[in-house]
Amino acid sequence: MISAGIVGGTGYTGVELLRILANHPEVQVDCLTSRGAEGTAVAELFPSLRGQIDLTFAAPEVERLARCDVVFFATPHGVALDMAGALLDAGARVVDLSADFRLPDAALLARWYGLTPVNTELLGRAVYGLPEVNREALRTARLVANPGCYPTVIQLGFLPLLERGWIDPQRLIASAASGASGAGRGAKVDSLYCEVADNFRAYGVAGHRHLPEIETHLARATGHTVGLTFVPHLAPMNRGMHATLFAFLREAVDETELHALYAARYVDEPFVDVLPLGQHPATASVRAANTCRLSVFRPQNGETVVVLGVIDNLVKGAAGQAIQNMNLMFGLPESMGLEALAVMP
């Protein structure tokens, strides 16, 4: 049985890790930390886990966490940077759900997150945790940088076209919307019910932190630089993410060929579902599931390709993908513990 620890277990991604791991047949959560909830039973804070997780939140002590086989960080940016090195030295494996190791360039990390790593060597050791691109590297990884939610759906949407070279890589556009849980569980005015309900708005248009992550890893995966305009939105729902992606063709291909490209690229991917030609994905179809659903269109047979993608931002966009990565790291079936279907309605 794999022993797991979770640092930062009181946020939305932390409780989602607990929910999924509670039913994982090969993993037991042995250590759960939170500075703010130290001494509080999990069931007291999250009644949904009553009878499933019999633990009390503890202080995040490296010595205790180091006894785990794998440690998940569901923490604010900067925490994993400080603790991961000691855990790795002790023999634990680390899956970080924050942005601490997503950018291999320390200058980018400082510019976009204001973080200065003490050990820049760790940035180079981290494997970017998008299994559809880095599956083989993840099998031997000891430190995994779990992708952000927007970067997951946007990269999966653009990858087939970029890999084939059918689109201009310098003219990519992504308009994407996330549910309010993407902003975290902390109390913020912008996340209040009266601010989110019956409202839809863009944010971060001048520059969003996920932009360099998307550009960096699309370039790594495809071998050439990309230019992306990214506009995120806040949608009036708890969870879910919808991305509308635009690209401009350099080849004369029809919609049937585009669909065949996507179907072939993801035919063996357990968590990417390419919908039949002409169907539109909906966020409700992936709620609480570790699934990305995609569809591709060429409106009016013009030069523009439109790709639609949906994920649950807390599952395939965070905790579910982290567990998918953990399964690969420990040689388990990739879908183990992640077979749950989407919740409808």
Of residues 68, 149, 194, 292, which has the active-site annotation? 149
Cβ partners under 8 Å of residue 44, min gap 6: none
How far is the C-alpha of 272 from the C-alpha of 54, rounded, in Å?
Answer: 33
Strand residue runs (E) in the chain: 2-7, 27-33, 70-73, 93-96, 127-128, 143-145, 172-178, 201-202, 228-234, 241-248, 272-274, 292-297, 304-311
149 is catalytic: yes
Sign of CA dihedral 106, 107, 113, 116: positive
- Omega of the bond leading into 345 within 30 degrees of 0 (cis): yes
**What does the angle CA 78 – CA 97 – CA 6 come to, to the nearest 5 degrees?**
90
Cβ partners under 8 Å of residue 198, min gap 6: 236
Sign of CA dihedral 175, 179, 183, 187: positive
Catalytic site positions: 149
